[in-house]
């Protein structure tokens, strides 16, 4: 019995010796500074929101075949989009203003194009100088049987690389 107690005591002592050191991760990055750049789309995925399995279709080859990927440039509070030669403009206009829902921990961006209505896109990850920009756009439309107004029909998940 002394042998069992000794083994249990030794196991408890060894567990206490495995403390992890806490390391400083530094101050949070400025998200507004993190998004200020020119971004080129590298991937576009269309998702069927009505499907039980949320079937996805990669639209990227469509843009590659056209010979140009959409891009967007963010500055302090404005954006510009280069849509020349691109058949789909996900941003409603070629220029306007933008704002995060929360500058310290953003989850969405509201775009206000000069010549179109404002809309909001969700962020799919952090905004730091080392990260890609991932945003999603939900498309709503009335479908047969919808009683609460238009529901989500599809969404686009767009991934951009910093140029």
The CATH number of residue 133's host domain is: 2.40.128
Are 138 and 49 a contacting pair, CB within 8 Å? Answer: yes
Query: For residue 79, is it within any domain?
Result: yes
Query: For residue 14, is it within any domain?
Result: no
Are 90 and 83 a contacting pair, CB within 8 Å? Answer: no
- In angstroms, the CA 36 to CA 74 distance is 5
Secondary structure, 3-state, the chain: CHHHHHHHHHHHHHHHCCCCCCCCCCCCCCHHHHHCCEEEEEEEEEEECCCCCCCEEECHHHHHHHCCCCEEEECCCEEEEECCCCCCCCCCCCEEEEEECCCCCCCEEEEEECCCCCEEEEECCCCCCCCCEEEEEEEEECCCCCCCCCEEEEEEEEEEEEC
Per-residue pLDDT tens, the chain, 163 aa: give them.
566 676 766 666 566 555 667 777 667 777 878 889 999 999 999 988 877 888 899 988 988 887 778 889 999 889 999 877 777 778 878 899 999 999 888 999 999 999 889 999 999 887 777 788 999 988 776 666 666 555 668 888 999 999 8
Query: For residue 21, is it within any domain?
Result: no
Query: For residue 25, is it within any domain?
Result: no
Domain of 85, in residue numbers: 30-162
Query: For residue 70, is it within any domain?
Result: yes
**Tally of domains within the chain:** 1
Q: Closest Cα partner for 132 from 68, 43, 63?
A: 43
Beta-bridge partners for 128: none
- In angstroms, the CA 133 to CA 121 distance is 12
pTM above 0.85, yes or no: no
Q: Closest Cα partner for 134 from 31, 37, 41?
A: 41
């Amino acid at each position: 019995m002394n042998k069992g107690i000794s083994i249990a005591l030794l196991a408890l002592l060894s567990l206490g010796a495995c403390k992890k050191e806490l390391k400083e991760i530094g101050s949070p990055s400025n998200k507004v500074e993190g998004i200020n750049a020119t971004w080129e789309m590298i991937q576009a995925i269309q998702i069927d929101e009505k499907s039980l399995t949320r079937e996805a279709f990669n639209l990227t080859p469509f843009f590659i075949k056209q010979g140009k990927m959409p891009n967007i440039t963010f500055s302090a509070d404005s954006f510009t989009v280069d849509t020349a030669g691109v058949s789909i403009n996900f941003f409603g206009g070629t220029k306007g203003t933008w704002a995060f829902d929360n500058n310290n921990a953003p989850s969405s961006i509201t775009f206000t194009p000069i010549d179109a209505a404002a809309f909001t896109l969700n962020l799919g990850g952090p905004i730091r100088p080392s990260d890609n920009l991932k945003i999603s756009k939900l498309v709503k439309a009335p479908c047969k049987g919808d009683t609460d107004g238009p529901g989500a029909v599809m969404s686009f998940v767009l991934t951009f690389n910093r140029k």
